[in-house]
């Protein structure tokens, strides 16, 4: 775990850093956001940023997004003022740590970041077979190609291999080739010199150099434009890269893992992917089964996600009813593990029984209007649980009575706004919980804003 502290090291933040070091983290320090961004550009990567709440966290989040640095931010500050914590989280921080620091809290945050990326469940025979191969090849430096449908856990498998490798103490760097515009992908991979192109305001090391001594994951590599594939082939073969605008080749020492959700051999036949690059990548191929092909893993994964989101939302963790388990096992899971995770996030919020009931399992394609009754009850229950007042049954009875005589549109609006408020205005998280697209959510919020309804986190 690489932790970068942003802010003054006077007093309590310094203590927090020492606690993190004691928990095995590699800690670096920058005085402010400008220094932090400079460090990231220079290849001093981080798995987590711990930022003094006095810093402009919103600005930092925007800069990270603009320069495509994918790293979570945790805010920290003196005291436990709720308003300060809410502002930091609304700005984009994943968590707020009050100072003086609590050693167990810091350990829990570090562990959560690590576990979110590295959890691996393999009870089903089909997944066990893949994991056995992964365990055998992980200690080598062989290039690995991981294929499978979207949402099957290709990045999680990549991190698992890294942790099992001799490079485990080195960095793990991931780049989603499908998320970066073609014009910028070369710079992301190989870096650039200052002034190499419009917008290159400073020298920046690419992912190859940032991953030096560790593992580089090229996610969805089949989306890479053929013109860049030749440069990637040279980098893989010779372990040498050329920065954009640079004059000297740079040697790198990495282990490469690539992933794709496409039929790579078909892409080669169609001329969309270089055959020589495919063979360089496909030294070892791990084909991850779809979730529907590993039925013995559905319930263990569901329990994992239920426990995770129960803890995140301050709700008691509950077992599944027999009917809920059957509903989970019989679903097709077109979106695989990602769909299952979102489904369980919703389920723990809407469940009203001692066990998670079947009606709380809202599967893809189920319309919000059909489950609005249960969901509104759940939103109010979460509010009461957080406030520490009233029982779950009292909240359910009260909410059910309040729904009588109301239109579906009114119930839907309350469901959406309560969920958005629960997510502290984060539209992406709210859309995931509601099971709708972010575009649909934005349209609904614009409609409410235009009607003069207060929208959490803004009006549109």
Q: What is the structure's pLDDT at 395?
A: 41
Q: Please answer whether residues 368 and 434 qualify as being in contact, where contact means their C-beta atoms are separated by less than 8 angstroms.
A: yes
pTM of the model: 0.65
Residue ranges of domains in the chain: 2-115, 125-289, 293-450
Look at residue 291 in the predicted model and tell me its pLDDT: 95
| 3: confidence class by pLDDT, cuts 50, 70, 90 | confident
Q: What is the CATH number of domain 293-450?
A: 1.10.8.60
User: What is d(CA 208, CA 244) in angstroms, rounded to the nearest whole number?
Assistant: 13
Q: Pairing state of beta strands 284-287 and 240-241?
A: unpaired
CA atoms within 13 A on the CB side of 113: 22
For 176-231, write each residue's pLDDT tens digit.
998 888 878 998 999 888 877 777 778 888 999 999 999 999 999 999 988 899 99
* Angstrom distance (rounded) from CA 343 to CA 360: 9
Q: What percent of the chain has pLDDT over 70?
A: 87
Q: What is the DSSP string of 190-251?
A: H-B-TTSSTT--S-B--HHHHTTTSEEEEETGGGS-HHHHHHHHHHHHHSEE--BT-SS-EE
Both ends of the chain: CA-CA distance in Å? 37
Q: What is the pLDDT of residue 7?
A: 85
**How large is the average pLDDT for residues 141-145?**
96
pLDDT band at 453 (very low <50, low <70, confident <90, very high): confident
Q: Compare 101 and 64 and report the one with higher pLDDT.
A: 64
Q: Which of 3.40.50.300, 3.40.640.10, 3.40.50.2300, 3.40.50.20 would CATH assign to domain 125-289? A: 3.40.50.300
pLDDT at 382 over 70: no
- Distance, in Å, from the CA atom of 410 to the CA atom of 361, rounded to the nearest integer, reads 23
Distance CA 49, CA 321 (A): 40
Q: Which residues pair with 31 in a beta bridge?
A: none
Rounded to an integer, what distance in angstroms lies between the CA atom of residue 84 and that of residue 252?
43
Residue 398 has pLDDT above 70, yes or no: no
Query: Is the separation of the CB atoms in 141 and 255 below 8 Å?
Result: yes
Q: Given this chain, do its domains 2-115 and 293-450 carry the same CATH topology? A: no
Give 50's strand partners: 5, 74
Highest CATH level, class, for 2-115: alpha beta
pLDDT band at 391 (very low <50, low <70, confident <90, very high): very low
What gap in Å lies between CA 281 and CA 275, rounded to an integer? 10
pLDDT of residue 289: 96
Structure confidence at residue 68 (pLDDT):
77
């Amino acid at each position: 775990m690489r932790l970068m502290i942003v802010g003054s090291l006077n007093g309590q933040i310094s203590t927090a850093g020492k606690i993190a070091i004691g928990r095995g983290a590699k800690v670096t320090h920058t005085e402010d956001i400008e220094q932090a961004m400079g460090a990231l550009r220079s290849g001093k990567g981080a798995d987590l940023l711990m930022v003094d709440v006095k810093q402009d966290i919103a600005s930092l989040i925007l800069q990270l997004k603009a320069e495509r640095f994918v790293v979570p931010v945790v805010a920290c500050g003196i005291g436990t003022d709720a308003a300060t914590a809410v502002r930091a989280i609304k700005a984009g921080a994943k968590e707020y740590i009050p100072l003086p620091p609590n050693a167990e809290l810091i350990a829990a945050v570090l562990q959560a970041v690590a576990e979110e990326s590295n959890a691996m469940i393999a009870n089903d025979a089909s997944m066990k077979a893949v994991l056995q191969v992964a365990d055998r090849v992980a200690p080598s430096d062989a290039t690995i190609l991981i294929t499978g449908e979207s949402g099957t856990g290709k990045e999680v498998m990549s991190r698992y291999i890294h942790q099992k490798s001799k490079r485990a103490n080195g960095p793990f760097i991931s780049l989603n080739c499908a998320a970066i515009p073609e014009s910028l992908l070369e710079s992301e991979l190989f870096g650039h010199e200052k002034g190499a192109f419009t917008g290159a305001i400073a020298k920046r090391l690419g992912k190859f150099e940032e991953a030096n001594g560790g593992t580089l994951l090229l996610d969805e590599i089949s989306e890479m434009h053929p013109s860049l594939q030749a440069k990637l082939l040279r980098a893989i073969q010779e372990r040498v890269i050329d920065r954009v605008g640079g004059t000297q080749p740079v040697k790198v020492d990495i282990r490469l893992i690539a992933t794709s959700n496409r039929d790579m051999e078909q892409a080669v036949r169609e001329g969309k992917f270089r055959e020589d690059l495919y063979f360089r990548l496909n030294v070892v191929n791990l084909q991850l089964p779809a979730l529907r092909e590993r039925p013995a893993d559905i319930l263990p994964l569901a329990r994992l996600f239920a426990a995770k989101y129960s803890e995140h939302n301050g709700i008691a963790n509950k077992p599944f009813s027999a009917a809920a388990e059957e509903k989970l096992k019989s679903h097709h899971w077109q979106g695989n593990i990602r769909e299952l995770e979102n489904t369980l996030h919703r389920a723990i919020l809407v469940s009203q029984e001692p066990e998670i009931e079947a009606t709380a399992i809202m599967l893809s394609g189920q319309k919000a209007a059909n489950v609005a009754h249960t969901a509104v009850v759940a939103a109010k229950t979460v509010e009461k649980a957080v406030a520490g007042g009233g029982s779950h049954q009292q909240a359910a009875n009260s909410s059910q009575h309040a729904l009588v005589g109301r239109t579906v549109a009114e119930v839907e609006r309350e469901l959406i706004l309560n969920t958005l408020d629960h997510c502290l205005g984060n539209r992406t998280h709210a859309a995931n919980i509601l099971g709708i697209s972010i575009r649909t959510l934005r349209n609904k919020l614009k409609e409410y804003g235009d009607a003069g309804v207060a929208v959490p986190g803004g009006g549109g």
